[in-house]
Amino acid sequence: AGASLSGADFFGAGAVGSAPSMARSWRGGGAQQEADAAGAFDAAYEAEGHIREDTSPTEGARRAELDNLKQQMVHDRDHLLRRIGACQAERAVHERERDAARASARVLEAQLTDAHCAPARARDRLRSLEMELRLLRARLGDETAARRVAEHAAGRAR
């Protein structure tokens, strides 16, 4: 079943060899030539029927196998599309988590930098407060001295 057939097997043993002779004889016409042509056609039709009978079970099995493979392919494709969707959703979650972790890291780095700079800033602030206090004391001392001088001058003027 399924083997390739020669022209003689397909059309019948007598039909292949007689095709050129049939073409010559048709030119002249006649009942015998028409009968030969009809016989060759019937033999070919019958041979085709035998071939179809031989290949029908195989063809049916192949078609069933093809249909099963198509269904499996559709199922596999749907499964892969669902898997792709799940992987994309998982990737999006991981990207959000990564972005949140990066933001937290930036905040912590800023706090760490502030903590490292805090003692220096505290010392600078302490120095500036001490300087401001010295300036205020000097101004107060100058004002106190100026008032004493003014009071002393006012006391002499009286």
Is the residue at 93 inside a domain? yes
* pTM, rounded to two decimals: 0.40
6 phi/psi in degrees, rounded to 5: -80, 170
Whose tokens are 């949140």? That residue is 100
Quickly list DSSP for 56-94. Answer: HHHHHHHHHHHHHHHHHHHHHHHHHHHHHHHHHHHHHHH
Is the residue at 83 inside a domain? yes
Residue ranges making up the domain that contains 92: 7-157
Is the residue at 1 inside a domain? no
How far apart CA 81 and CA 43 sit, in angstroms, is 54
How far apart CA 53 and CA 60 sit, in angstroms, is 11
Residue 7 pLDDT > 90:
no
Average pLDDT of the chain, as a whole number: 81
pLDDT tens-digit series, residues 32-86: 777 777 788 788 878 887 777 777 778 888 889 999 999 999 999 999 999 999 9
How far apart CA 87 and CA 84 sit, in angstroms, is 5
How far apart CA 2 and CA 56 sit, in angstroms, is 10
The residue type found at 136 is L
Residue 93 pLDDT > 70:
yes
Number of domains in the chain: 1
Is the residue at 11 inside a domain? yes
Is the residue at 2 inside a domain? no
Residue 88 pLDDT > 70:
yes
